[in-house]
């Protein structure tokens, strides 16, 4: 029978397209059959335990180490082909451990990287400014704090105005304010259409900031999607935290009677009610019927951490 369904909406070709990527070191399957696509302008997160294979996958995507098997294309170009040289100019990379020379100043460091990349030296001062290091441009890197070194590494990745950014644990060593500033820069880059992929161990930090993410464990992608999509796939329970005007626990039990809740527990200063996502509105309405007996109500959605442990354990 002829297919009469409408043609799928036209999607832009992925900037990063990974198919069956595999890397073995002897018996270690560092990366084991990874499929992944990142769309133009997307901010994509890659999370996983130590040794999950994230850095190895990054290096393969950058053509820095050869794959044992699989196909990796950036901007349509295979990373192993001659055409990749031109694509590489569009890429910025912040490695997990960026190598810096202690005797150089911040601006000399960027000038060094600019020469390596064939980028105009005039980009260095603005790059330092952008990452909040203008004040330390003339100080030697040996005097830099961990966070300042990380910012300098990030600044070098921005040289040449890359259209694709690979950031391996970019917020390591940054304090909370610096992390916020870092993501403000990423938002700016995103609004300019830059495609970005980053790794992080700090799940709370990336859960509100990436468009989509992949959870990696033992060299494989265990799950991929939006944070909300992954929550729904896991079908993790929600918690209501109900603070009552009086210790009227039995009343709560009564209004929830017959509803599909998996737990109702009296805690120190509140009652905790657990239910599945599909029962959320029913439970909410039942609790609302308690009127002014309820002083406060919080809904606790499962965090990315809950989702992560669900997929990676
Ligand atoms: N050059 C290498 N030779 C042998 N094994 C390697 C090599 N590089 C990585 N591995 C192994 O591959 C696996 C994946 O390592 P990888 O560094 O990619 O993990 P990761 O997810 O980036 O970890 P982390 O979060 O700790 O940085 C680990 O078991 C690691 O020991």
Any idea where the domains of the chain sit in the sequence? 12-90+163-178+187-225, 102-161, 236-312
Query: To the nearest whole number, what is the mean pLDDT of the chain?
Result: 89
Q: What would the pLDDT profile of 48-65 be if each residue is shown by its tens digit?
A: 888 999 999 999 999 999
| pLDDT at 1 (0 to 100) | 39
**Contact criterion met (CB below 8 Å) for 131 and 42:** no
Atom 29 of ligand 1, nearest CA residue: 51
| pLDDT at 246 (0 to 100) | 78
In which band, very low, low, confident or very high, does the pLDDT at 161 lie, cut at 50, 70 and 90?
very high
| pLDDT at 10 (0 to 100) | 59
Distance 214 CA to ligand 1 centre (A): 17
The answer to whether the CB of 28 is under 6 A from ligand 1 is: yes
Give the architecture-level CATH label for domain 12-90+163-178+187-225.
Answer: 3-Layer(aba) Sandwich (3.40)
ipTM exceeds 0.90, yes or no: yes
Eight-state DSSP code of residue 276: -
Taking the C-alpha atoms of residue 213 and residue 138, their distance in angstroms, rounded to an integer, is 38
> Region 227-243: what's the mean pLDDT?
85
| pLDDT at 251 (0 to 100) | 82
| pLDDT at 6 (0 to 100) | 45
Q: Return the CA Rg of the chain.
A: 24
In which band, very low, low, confident or very high, does the pLDDT at 85 lie, cut at 50, 70 and 90?
confident
Cβ within 8 Å of residue 31, ≥6 positions away = 21, 22, 23, 53, 56, 57, 60, 67, 219
The answer to whether the CB of 60 is under 6 A from ligand 1 is: no
DSSP 63-119: TSS--SEEEEEETTEETTSTTHHHHHTTEEEE-TT----TTSBHHHHHHHHHHHHT-
Is the pLDDT at 13 greater than 60? The verdict is yes
Is the pLDDT at 285 greater than 50? The verdict is yes
> Region 292-297: what's the mean pLDDT?
89
pTM score, two decimals?
Answer: 0.83
Fold adopted by 236-312: Alpha-Beta Plaits (3.30.70)
Distance 56 CA to ligand 1 centre (A): 6
Is the pLDDT at 9 greater than 80? The verdict is no
Atom 16 of ligand 1, nearest CA residue: 53
The answer to whether the CB of 25 is under 6 A from ligand 1 is: yes
Distance 51 CA to ligand 1 centre (A): 5
Mutate which of 51, 97, 169, 172 for ligand 1 pocket (most atoms within 8 A of beta carbon): 51
In which band, very low, low, confident or very high, does the pLDDT at 210 lie, cut at 50, 70 and 90?
very high
In which band, very low, low, confident or very high, does the pLDDT at 4 lie, cut at 50, 70 and 90?
very low
| pLDDT at 312 (0 to 100) | 65
Atom 11 of ligand 1, nearest CA residue: 30
> Region 216-245: what's the mean pLDDT?
88
In which band, very low, low, confident or very high, does the pLDDT at 3 lie, cut at 50, 70 and 90?
very low
The number of the ligand 1 atom at minimal distance from the alpha carbon of 219 is: 14
∠90-93-95 over CA atoms, to 5°? Answer: 165
Between 48-57, 146-155, 299-308, the lowest mean confidence (pLDDT) is in 299-308
| pLDDT at 49 (0 to 100) | 87
**Contact criterion met (CB below 8 Å) for 186 and 196:** yes
């Amino acid at each position: 029978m002829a297919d009469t369904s409408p043609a799928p909406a036209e999607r832009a070709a992925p900037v990063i397209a990974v198919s069956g990527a595999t890397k073995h070191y002897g018996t270690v399957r560092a990366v084991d059959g990874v499929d992944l696509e990142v769309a133009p302008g997307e901010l994509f997160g890659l999370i996983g335990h130590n040794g999950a294979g994230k850095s190895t996958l990054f290096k393969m995507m950058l053509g820095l180490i050869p794959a044992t098997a699989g196909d990796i294309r950036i901007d349509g170009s295979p990373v192993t082909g001659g055409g990749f040289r031109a694509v590489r100019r569009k890429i910025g990379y912040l490695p997990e451990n960026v190598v810096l020379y202690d005797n150089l100043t911040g601006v000399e460091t960027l000038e060094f990287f600019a020469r390596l990349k064939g980028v105009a030296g005039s980009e260095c001062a603005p790059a330092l400014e952008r990452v909040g290091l203008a004040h330390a441009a003339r100080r030697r890197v040996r005097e830099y704090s961990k966070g300042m070194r990380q910012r300098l590494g990030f600044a070098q990745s921005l040289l040449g105005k890359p259209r694709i950014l690979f950031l391996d644990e970019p917020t390591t060593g940054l304090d909370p304010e610096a992390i916020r500033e870092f993501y403000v820069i990423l938002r700016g880059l995103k609004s300019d259409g830059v495609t970005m992929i980053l790794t992080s161990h700090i799940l709370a930090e990336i859960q509100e900031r990436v468009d989509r993410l992949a959870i990696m464990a033992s060299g494989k992608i265990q799950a991929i999607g939006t944070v909300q999509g992954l929550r729904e796939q896991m079908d993790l329970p929600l918690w209501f935290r109900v603070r009552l005007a009086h210790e009227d626990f039995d009343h709560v039990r009564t209004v929830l009677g017959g509803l599909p809740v998996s737990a109702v527990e009296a805690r120190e200063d509140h009652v905790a009610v657990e239910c599945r996502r599909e029962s959320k509105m029913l439970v909410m309405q039942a609790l609302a019927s308690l009127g002014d007996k309820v002083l406060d109500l919080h809904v606790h959605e499962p965090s990315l951490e809950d989702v992560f442990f669900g997929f990676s354990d």
